[in-house]
A and B are shown apart, each in its own frame.
Chain A
Amino acid sequence: MKYTILSPRVGTPGDEYVPVDGVNIDALIAGGFIEQSTVKVPKGAKTKTDTNEE
């Protein structure tokens, strides 16, 4: 799971936030300091299946 920094109190806004053991991630998200990155999973190439029987 990736996180993006929103507040300069945590780091440079826009940079990835790398979680450290012991840090309460939920509190950082709830406080508006970081957000969970919305990374879209690329769709796979469409493949046509020929169902016609010849």
Chain B
Amino acid sequence: MATTTYLSSPNLTINSVSMQDQCHGLTFTRTIEALEKTAFGSGSRVYTAGLENSTLSCDLYLSFDAAETYATLKNLVGTQTDVSWSASATSPGTATNPTMTLTGAYLEALPYDMALGALGQLTVVFTGGVYSVVEV
């Protein structure tokens, strides 16, 4: 059975900045909104495709150092940018290692907690944008 194991080399790029060494998880949900078009005579609900509204949730370690996580994200709140990811940073954009991109994804918030003795982490969610895959 073929599976994909994510050991060490998945890559995440936010606004062309590589976050590979700060990211430890991401969740992508491709969503195309369902518009109901059920009519008289239908025995079940019927839907058609609406607008695409995908989300990408990124789990990152929080660093306030220069050119690290906070510096990458602080000026992106309330703006659109491009976000790309792949299962491996080695030779991305191929059939077996496709590069996924959300072009024009919106970052609404930059939430983080600070707790004594805890490793700083944050989760940012990019919403919307145009989804594309490079798998040449």
**A32-B81 in contact given A10-B16, A22-B104 (Cβ < 8 Å):** no
Kindly state whether residue A50 has any CB partner on chain B within 8 Å: no
B82 near A10: Cβ-Cβ < 8 Å? no
Asked if B18 and A26 make an inter-chain contact with CB atoms under 8 angstroms apart, the answer reads no
**CB interface residues, A 8-36, toward B, < 8 Å:** 9-10, 20, 22-24, 26-28, 30-33
Note all chain B residues with C-beta closer than 8 A to A28.
Answer: 15-17
| B77-109 interface code vs A (CB 8 A; 1 in, 0 out) | 001111000000000000000000001100000
CB pair A9–B15 under 8 Å, yes or no, is no
The answer to whether B16 touches A23, judged by C-beta atoms less than 8 angstroms apart, is yes
Q: Do A27 and B76 contact each other (CB < 8 Å), given the known contacts A7-B17, A22-B81?
A: yes
Contact A9 B74 (CB under 8 A): no
Which of A's residues lie within 8 Å of B, judged by CB? 6-7, 9-10, 20, 22-24, 26-28, 30-33
4 new A-B contacts, CB < 8 A, other than A9-B67, A23-B81, A30-B74, are: A24-B80, A27-B76, A31-B71, A31-B74
* Interface pairs A-B: 4 shortest CB-CB: A27-B75, A31-B71, A22-B82, A7-B67
A-B contacts, 9 of them at CB < 8 A, read: A9-B19, A10-B18, A22-B104, A24-B75, A24-B76, A24-B79, A31-B71, A31-B75, A32-B71
